[in-house]
Amino acid sequence: MARESLSGRAYGLIRGMIVRLELTPGSVVREDELQTTLKIGRTPIREALQRLARDQFLVVIPRRGMIVSKIDIAELSTLYETRAILEPYVARLACERGDVEHWRQMRKVLDQAKKVNISAQEQIQLDAQCHEIVWDAAGNRFLKDTLDVLYAQSDRLWHMYLADVADMGHALEEHEEILRALEAGDSELVYKLLAAHVRSFDAQVRDAVRKRLELAG
């Protein structure tokens, strides 16, 4: 496997550990431990960590190395307003540029969501796949890369505040509506549905944060 692909694999695995809180906010990231855990060499690990720092999942601390970044509650509005601008726009592009194969893939993902006793973790993974298919259909790699990072940060918030209480079933039902609009080629409806989908997630997280702060107070 080429070093470039090893670096990308390391990035995905480490980011997943951060998102799932296996590497908790504020914890020190140790290269040697990651090499052992992931069975990937020093150089790809280092390159992945540098990329994660650029994407703001890690923070470089002089003389301490790297720590997992924290998500300040005050940043929730910034994260939401960025996704609220980009996601509906990209969905509109997807409606104009996507093809039958994209929507067939999305239907397969949503069919998986109808399994009995599907876990919350599986639900969020299927939600992510639906978003990824839409981004791919839009055919703009710059927007796709940006949204990939923003979604991962949103996923972190889900794990921090909602993983133990939330049911993502409603989000997947929203994707059913989005898919029907995509298949119909109704770009304006797709835009509105994606905007509502992102707004719903933001409202859920804000409500969970508020309740946790009230309990702490």
Question: Where do the domains of the chain lie, and which CATH numbers do they carry?
Answer: 3-68 (1.10.10.10), 73-216 (1.20.120.530)
Whether the predicted pLDDT of 119 surpasses 60: yes
pLDDT-based confidence at residue 163 (cuts at 50, 70, 90)? low
The angle at the Cα of 63, spanning 62 to 67, to the nearest 5 degrees, equals 65
Helix (H, G, I), strand (E, B) or coil at 165: coil
Q: Report the chain's mean pLDDT, rounded to a whole number.
A: 90
Contact 163, 157 (CB under 8 A): no
Taking residues 182-195, report their average pLDDT.
97
How many residues comprise the chain?
217
Q: What is the pLDDT of residues 35-56, one digit of tens each?
A: 999 999 999 999 999 999 999 9
Mark out the alpha helices in 98-168 (DSSP H runs): 100-112, 120-138, 141-161
Which DSSP symbol is given to 73? G
Residues 166 and 117: their CA atoms lie apart, in Å, by 14
